Chains A and B, each alone.
Chain A
């Protein structure tokens, strides 16, 4: 998925909220968007999710997408289970898979008892669980989370963290905004920082700023090979054709296993601890 020269402003002549954004989001990326209030985080997420169209530039290669808003006060005239089943079908699931998915995701979030409760009668937290379940049940290729953790209890935040890791490991792109700087810490994560004035992003390798120690894995591709899907970490091409992956230390073994199991296998040149920032 690629953004080319993407900009957004509301109304012709209005100020640019985002401008000249070039961004490549390969599969298996976890991308955190940071910025002050009003820096365009939510606007960017809406553009990524396809809810909103850019005023300039283009977005190509968007996979099947799910979006989870920060607040879901959806006073829809149906039960949580019925809503999720409908949304599951909109996400492309069959009838049986949608109703099974609705039940399973509500249960995973400890809200199985609310499947038959009208959405208008749910508490704020349970509504948010429904919104998150909606985003996860279609196993989207792009998951956009706009402070989706807000309002969830601790256990559910953990379930969402785990689901995000699962999706990233499965090769999906997950883009999120969250006020907690420790959110998904330890997970190799790219950070896009939106400035208040320049609105030009600084793309930095965030695994280094994560709390857990990170590792550099330098690998040499066999001729003609592309990086296997579902690889954790942020790949970075080196000048001699090798690729450096920055991954959280707990993921090192997994990463090596994927690379060695690839057909043809990749050559591991070095595994070193990344220097702390």
Chain B
């Protein structure tokens, strides 16, 4: 598995296909995270942005190998392990972005509530932002795993499905991502910081389920 992760990471890194999702992340951060804005609002925005970016990274990683090369790797290690490694590398990259994004938010955000009257403790705000970003990365992974190969093989289905699923997961009331981001934005009004651990756990469970489904089907549909 380590060898597969290293191989997939090398593929991602050298392919430069991480650049468009990174630009999306950077562009969105430039719009939503500006110096002097309330830190929790910024953290919520950064986390929400990470969801589509992660789904895109998963798409990049699971489609990175041409099919002939994928067959060789799949024979050597088993198709589900190859798929798992690809998804795991995408999630790893997204978590790096989560950490970097949280760092930027902590650096430029204003540690006050939206009405600038109450002080928001920077430490717990950063922790809440990081946990929220991790939850969004996990849900983005789930979306990416379900909306790409091996479940949806054609680009014509995969890309619109990823978009729709991203919107649904960000805005549906029952979604852990929605709960986590809403928690941050509400905290920015009230000054009470909630670290969204429950949404994180739910997101992890959903991601594990989605990735398990995708990996189980990796050998069935090639």
Q: Which residues of A contact B (CB under 8 A)?
A: 46, 49-53, 64-69, 71-78, 82, 86-87, 89-92, 131, 134-135, 138, 140, 144
Contact = CB atoms under 8 A, between A and B. Distances in A.
Interface string B1-41: 00110110011001110000000000000000000000000
Interface stretch (B69-77, B158-166, B191-199): B69-77
A51 B68 contact: no
B72 A135 contact: yes
A90 B74 contact: no
- How many residues of B sit at the interface, in one of the four size bands? 20 to 34
A78 B222 contact: no
In this complex, which of B3, B65, B72 has the most chain A Cβ atoms within 10 angstroms of its Cβ? B72
B167 interface: no
Nearest to A146: B71
Contacts of B116: none
B222 A52 contact: yes
A144 B73 CA distance: 13
Given A74-B65, A86-B3, A90-B73, 5 more contacts: A53-B219, A67-B72, A69-B72, A90-B76, A91-B76
Contacts of A52: 219-220, 222
Contact of A51 (B10, B14, B75): B75
A130 B6 CA distance: 19
A208 B16 CA distance: 54
Give the secondary structure class of A's interface: loop
Contacts of A140: 76
B10 A49 contact: no
Contact of A77 (B15, B71, B79): B15
Contacts of A86: 3, 6-7, 10
B173 interface: no
18 contacts: A46-B71, A49-B71, A50-B79, A52-B220, A67-B76, A68-B72, A69-B71, A72-B72, A74-B66, A77-B16, A82-B10, A86-B6, A87-B7, A87-B73, A87-B76, A89-B7, A91-B76, A131-B72
Contacts of A76: 11, 65-66, 69
B21 to A, nearest CB: 16
Contacts of A82: 10
Contacts of B209: none
B66 A73 contact: yes
A67 B75 contact: yes
A122 to B, nearest CB: 13
Nearest to B14: A77
A53 B69 CA distance: 18
Contacts of A69: 68, 71-72
Contacts of A50: 74-75, 78-79, 219
B150 to A, nearest CB: 11
A67 B71 contact: yes
Contacts of B16: 77
B220 A53 contact: yes
* 7 closest A-B pairs by CB: A67-B75, A89-B3, A77-B14, A49-B75, A53-B219, A74-B69, A86-B7
Contacts of B72: 66-69, 72, 87, 131, 134-135
B69 A72 contact: yes
A28 to B, nearest CB: 20
In this complex, which of B14, B69, B73, B219 has the most chain A Cβ atoms within 10 angstroms of its Cβ? B69
Contact of B77 (A72, A90, A135): A90
Contact of B222 (A46, A73, A87): A46
A86 B8 CA distance: 9
B68 A71 contact: yes
B189 to A, nearest CB: 47
A71 B66 CA distance: 11
